[in-house]
Amino acid sequence: MGEDLDDAALRAFALAALPDLEALTDAVSAAILDRQPELAGPDGALRELVRSTSRANVQAIVTTLAGGMPADGLDVPEGALELLDRLAAQEDALPVMLRAYRLGAAALLLLWLDRIAASGADAATHHRLARASADHLARYVDRISELIVRRWSAIAAEAAVSGRRREALLRALLAGEPADPALLDHPLDRAQVVVAVRAPTGGPAAAVGRVAAALADPPRMGLDLVDGAHVSWFAVGTDARRAAATALAAVPAGTWCVVATVRPGVGELVGGARDALVALRALERIHPGGAAVAYPDVAVLAALLADEDAARRLVATVLGEELGAATPRAVRLRETLRAYFDAGERKTGAAALLGVHEKTVSHRLAQAQEALGAPLAQRRTDLVTALLIDRALAAS
């Protein structure tokens, strides 16, 4: 049973600590967040929830000590499960929550022992108070952890149901069907980072998980699509551009990923996802080995490829019959033009890219210009666009 909680000295000591609950709570929640900063969420959104959960537990521990009540029969104090509910959508929510309880208990015990040491009690009383307090605290954490584990399956099941409901809403919104965005339970009033991803092996989960971790697990929702692509929305609030850069840096190699930033609002959220998914398909065409890019870097190509028939007609119109042919000669000329424009219209740079002599580049450029019937500089913008589309179409 542990130490006798009817000990008058222990009850009086705990009773004297009740006016200091707020200070104890501040210290305990600070200690938890110092070791588990990810609990605070994006922009500190969950910081107050961590504190309120700490407040509920600290109050329960101190009041049961003051009342001489054992910890073995306690229920989870009101407000202490709200944090678990908020974390339920995360796969690691249960171990994260249990670790937070261990950290909080350790912090409170140290504070409690300091109070006992400062109380002026004699050695025997000091020892008795310390042992009884530590025993009660350990029993409390053990009891609450047991209850959390018991309830976890129900909470996780509810989270799964909510997730399926959210997926149905997202599919409806992306399809332009009527749906109530308020039911998404997602902060639509914040700027979003939209991540469209496809991974050739292992699926998109690993990539999305790495992005979420890099962004410190902000509120997010995701949707798997029938073609194997995935889109996730991360509510990042302020400085969305920096968050997008962080997301891009976290994408593993060999993955196709387009990252976009959108303003608050359901219309922006849906439009941004549609754009990112179209851009993802374009990205796959020009980077068969995978690539991660910001949406603006592929937006023009994505828009041009949205109507493939129109894109092919554009290429044929700009390049003409001779330069746009499928013959080895025409293919070499197009490759040379791409290298020339990629090198800033420097023949030496193009030669280095192609691994040929500069005179070879000059000769091919002259042939391309003759086929076009106009100076290359005069047709630069049209040629760059047509060659980009041509490469994407050829890759498909």
Q: Is residue 14 part of a domain?
A: yes
Same domain, 333 and 293: no
Confidence of residue 202 (pLDDT cuts 50, 70, 90): low
The answer to whether the Cα torsion of 323, 326, 332, 336 is positive or negative is positive
pLDDT given for residue 59 in this prediction: 92
3-state secondary structure the chain: CCCCCCCHHHHHHHHHHHHHHHHHHHHHHHHHHHHCHHHHCHHHCCHHHHHHHHHHHHHHHHHHHHHCCCCCCCCCCCCCCHHHHHHCCCCCHHHHHHHHHHHHHHHHHHHHHHHHHHCCCCHHHHHHHHHHHHHHHHHHHHHHHHHHHHHHHHHHHHHHHHHHHHHHHHHHHHCCCCCCHHHHCCCCCCCEEEEEEECCCCCCHHHHHHHHHHCCCCCEEEEECCCCCEEEEEECCCCHHHHHHHHHHHCCCCCEEEEEEECCCHHHHHHHHHHHHHHHHHHHHHCCCCEEEEHHHCHHHHHHHCCHHHHHHHHHHHHHHHHCCCCHHHHHHHHHHHHHHHCCCCHHHHHHHHCCCHHHHHHHHHHHHHHHCCCCHHHHHHHHHHHHHHHHHHHC
Q: What is the pLDDT of residues 136-192, one digit of tens each?
A: 999 999 988 888 887 776 766 666 666 677 888 898 899 888 888 888 889 999 999
Same domain, 283 and 313: no
| Last-in-domain residue among 304, 326, 341 | 304
Which has more pLDDT, 268 or 204? 268
| Last-in-domain residue among 262, 283, 304 | 304
Distances, alpha carbon 62 to alpha carbons 20, 38, 255, 343, 378, in Å: 10, 27, 52, 72, 81
Question: Is the per-residue pLDDT at 4 higher than 70?
Answer: no
Question: Is the per-residue pLDDT at 2 higher than 50?
Answer: no
Mean pLDDT throughout 181-210? 86
Q: Is residue 175 part of a domain?
A: no
Q: Is residue 169 part of a domain?
A: no
Same domain, 200 and 80: no
Same domain, 101 and 213: no
Q: What dihedral do alpha carbons 248, 250, 254, 255 form, nearest 10°? A: -60
Same domain, 213 and 327: no
Same domain, 14 and 133: yes
Same domain, 20 and 153: yes
Mean pLDDT throughout 251-278? 93
Which has more pLDDT, 90 or 36? 36
pLDDT given for residue 112 in this prediction: 93
Q: What gap in Å lies between CA 268 and CA 271, rounded to an integer?
A: 5
Which has more pLDDT, 217 or 24? 24
Same domain, 297 and 194: yes
| Domains contained in the chain, number | 3
CATH of the domain at 63: 1.10.490
Mean pLDDT throughout 115-122? 88
Confidence of residue 200 (pLDDT cuts 50, 70, 90): confident
pLDDT given for residue 1 in this prediction: 38
Q: What gap in Å lies between CA 307 and CA 141, rounded to an integer?
A: 61
Same domain, 355 and 240: no
Confidence of residue 253 (pLDDT cuts 50, 70, 90): confident
Q: Is residue 174 part of a domain?
A: no
Read off the tokens for 139: 């029993």
The residue behind tokens 């209850």 is 147
Q: Is residue 178 part of a domain?
A: no
Question: Is the per-residue pLDDT at 221 higher than 80?
Answer: yes
Q: Is residue 203 part of a domain?
A: yes
- The residue range of the domain holding 38 is 8-161
Confidence of residue 3 (pLDDT cuts 50, 70, 90): very low
Q: Is residue 280 part of a domain?
A: yes
Question: Is the per-residue pLDDT at 268 higher than 70?
Answer: yes
| Last-in-domain residue among 274, 304, 334 | 304
Cβ-based burial of 253 (10 A; exposed 0-12, middle 13-18, buried ≥19): exposed
Q: What gap in Å lies between CA 298 and CA 279, rounded to an integer?
A: 6
pLDDT given for residue 157 in this prediction: 66
pLDDT given for residue 245 in this prediction: 93
Question: Is the per-residue pLDDT at 373 higher than 50?
Answer: yes
**Among 55-59, 124-128, 293-297, whose mean pLDDT is lowest?**
124-128
First CA to last CA across the chain, in angstroms? 72
* C-alpha radius of gyration, the chain, whole number: 31
Mean pLDDT, rounded, of the chain:
86
Same domain, 148 and 193: no
CATH of the domain at 348: 1.10.10.2840
This prediction has a pTM of 0.55
pLDDT given for residue 6 in this prediction: 47
Q: What is the pLDDT of residues 333-351, one digit of tens each?
A: 999 999 999 999 999 999 9
Q: How many CB atoms lie within 10 A of CB 72?
A: 13
Mean pLDDT throughout 57-64? 92
Same domain, 113 and 133: yes
Q: What is the pLDDT of residues 287-324, one digit of tens each?
A: 888 899 999 988 888 888 878 888 889 889 999 999 99
Q: Is residue 176 part of a domain?
A: no
pLDDT given for residue 20 in this prediction: 94
Please state, for a pLDDT cut of 90, what percent of the chain lies above it: 46
Same domain, 385 and 283: no
